[in-house]
Amino acid sequence: MTRTLDGVRVLEIGQYIAGPYCAMLLADQGAEVIKVERPDTGDPRRWYDPLIEQDGRSMSGGFLSYNRNKRAITLNLQHSEGRRLFLKLVESSDVVVENLRPGALDRAGLGYDRLVEINPRLIYCAITGFGRLDGYRGPYADRPAFDAAVQAMSGIMSVIGSGDDEPTLSVTGFADIYTAVFGALGVSLALFAREKTGRGTFIDQAMYDTVASLMERSLMLYEYTGEVPTPGVDRFAPVGALKTLDGHAAVIIPTDDMWVRFCTAIGRGDLLARPELATVRQRSENFRSVIRPEAELWSSQRTRAEVVAELTKHGLPAGEVQKVDEVYACPQLAQRQMFLDIDDGVSGAKRMPRTPLLFSDFELPPHDAPPQLGADTELVLRELAGARSEEIQLWRRDGVI
């Protein structure tokens, strides 16, 4: 068996989350990913807590999460020889993934226009906060962007929470991860298109665009109704969590038929006659004030599992509200083999979620640990740049690698 991207070579000039995660998704599917880092310091994510150090080596939990199944080299791209070596690697590569500040590689003479002269088949994925393609640069194009800023601007923070407190972030790193997924999709589509055209392309993957697209329901509702969504309320689908003996269970009742089945499941046929609950819109607006208190008279006498089982029996979607430790212990995810055991030799064996793709005829992702800084520099330069031992010694002396 093989993997879908076997034979594809990717150069990653990534840091923090979005670029590295995008490249890792490609590596999980079999691509040879070569992570190019600055000598001495490397990707700043290498030094983030939680950090474990042992025998002169270290491994950050964040770095472990975004950099498995890669090779790592160091190149000083501020040095003319470092730039020459990078261009040599580009000659035999299929993809470049980078998430530096817009224009950083252009200023070093290593932007897309220069690289495509060397390799017309090259696919160049640039991940930025607000985009950089000529003709599409907006007023925020030069802003630096981290996850929290993009979550805020996309509108997500305005609709999360109960509505009784300050705006709330969703999962930390969410904007980076979701953007990285689309970056990997863009690379995959470009590889497919290249088989027909023979040409590469530039992929302009903006975090703001990506996360704003996830707000499609809220944006659609505003466009249709003129109403600005508020936290904790979906005026077009009764949704929320019910208290149980051991926590909460989430429910959604988006149709009249499901409303009948819900009332039957909880033994409350009388709710069907309540005038303030006659329509989906009314039930949405009165979920917290009427439906939830009435339903919790039933659910609070049962466990999460019992509540979900009863609702499921009536054909209703429901789920236990699980904490992180419960997700790790979930038998469904265990059967799906959703966790990889990664042992990097420093922090010991750690379970990490795999790329959530399953193919009938291709293997699951490998379990290779993230490399130490520059671990593969000599080998890669020998293989792909024809470097000799004396050259490598000279480059080390001059700070090129």
pLDDT at 1: 66
On whether both 167 and 265 belong to a single domain, the answer is no
On whether both 154 and 32 belong to a single domain, the answer is yes
Quote the pTM value: 0.94
Domain boundary at 323, 347, 369, which? 323
On whether both 34 and 179 belong to a single domain, the answer is yes
Which has the closest alpha carbon to 170: 128, 129, 214? 214
Tell me whether residue 362 is in a domain: yes
pLDDT at 236: 87
On whether both 109 and 16 belong to a single domain, the answer is yes
231-249: b or e for each residue (b if 16 or more CB lie within 10 Å)?
A: bbbbbbbbebbbbbeebbb
176 part of the active site: yes
Range of the domain at 315: 239-323
Residues in CB range of 160: below 8 A, 6 or more apart: 167, 168, 169, 170, 231
Q: Which helix (H) or strand (E) holds 113?
A: helix 112-118
Which has the closest alpha carbon to 31: 156, 179, 184? 184
User: What's 332-356 look like in SS3?
Assistant: HHHHCCCEEEEECCCCCEEEEECCC
CA distances from 36 to 43, 380, 397 (A): 9, 11, 19
On whether both 207 and 258 belong to a single domain, the answer is no
On whether both 384 and 343 belong to a single domain, the answer is yes
Domain count, the chain: 2
- Low pLDDT (below 50) residues in the chain: none
By percentage, how much of the chain surpasses pLDDT 70?
Answer: 100
Domain boundary at 303, 323, 343, which? 323
* CATH number (domain holding residue 123): 3.40.50.10540
On whether both 39 and 151 belong to a single domain, the answer is yes
Tell me whether residue 220 is in a domain: no
On whether both 118 and 195 belong to a single domain, the answer is yes
Tell me whether residue 32 is in a domain: yes
Tell me whether residue 113 is in a domain: yes
How many residues make up the chain in this entry? Answer: 401
On whether both 131 and 263 belong to a single domain, the answer is no
Domain boundary at 323, 353, 376, which? 323
* CATH number (domain holding residue 303): 3.30.1540.10
How far is Cα of residue 298 from the mean position of the Cα atoms in its chain? 38
On whether both 47 and 105 belong to a single domain, the answer is yes
pLDDT at 231: 85
On whether both 250 and 101 belong to a single domain, the answer is no
Q: Tens of pLDDT along 347-389?
A: 999 999 999 999 999 999 999 999 999 999 999 999 999 999 9
On whether both 28 and 172 belong to a single domain, the answer is yes
Tell me whether residue 283 is in a domain: yes
Q: Tens of pLDDT along 40-70?
A: 999 999 999 999 998 889 999 999 999 999 9
Catalytic residue selected from 94, 176, 209, 234: 176
Tell me whether residue 297 is in a domain: yes
Q: What phi and psi values does residue 159 have, to the nearest 5 degrees?
A: -115, 0
Tell me whether residue 261 is in a domain: yes
End-to-end CA distance of the chain: 36
pLDDT at 356: 95
Tell me whether residue 93 is in a domain: yes
Contact at 8 Å (CB) between 226 and 276? no
